[in-house]
Amino acid sequence: MCPKLRPVIRTLRRLAAFIENTMTYSNLTNGPLEGINNKIKLIKRVSFGYRNYDNLRNRIIITSRLFASTTKKEIKQLKVA
């Protein structure tokens, strides 16, 4: 066996369980979470400074609509019922 292949094979064996999980759950992704992180970083870049952390937090919540999802579901359920 080529000596340069030994570290590759060792790494594949060590990570075999993780590779198997990746193949098994290929429909799962962290894309939505990365999108939220990107929005937060964009807000921090664009903002010219807030008086305190609460104002920055409120801007992030309002922009990402984290507070509105349950309210919308309740409104839709009331219309259906």
The model's pLDDT over 16-48, given as tens digits with 9 standing for 90+, comes to: 999 999 899 888 888 888 988 998 898 888 887
Residue 78 placed within a domain = no
Model confidence at 73, in pLDDT bands (50, 70, 90)? low
pLDDT of residue 68 exceeding 70: no
Question: Radius of gyration (Cα) for the chain, nearest Å?
Answer: 22
Residue 14 placed within a domain = yes
As for how many domains the chain has, the answer is 1
Instruction: Give the model's pLDDT for residue 17.
Output: 95
Task: Provide the domain limits for residue 50.
Answer: 4-64
Stretch 2-15: mean pLDDT: 94
Residue 72 placed within a domain = no
Q: Which two tokens stand for residue 7?
A: 């570290």
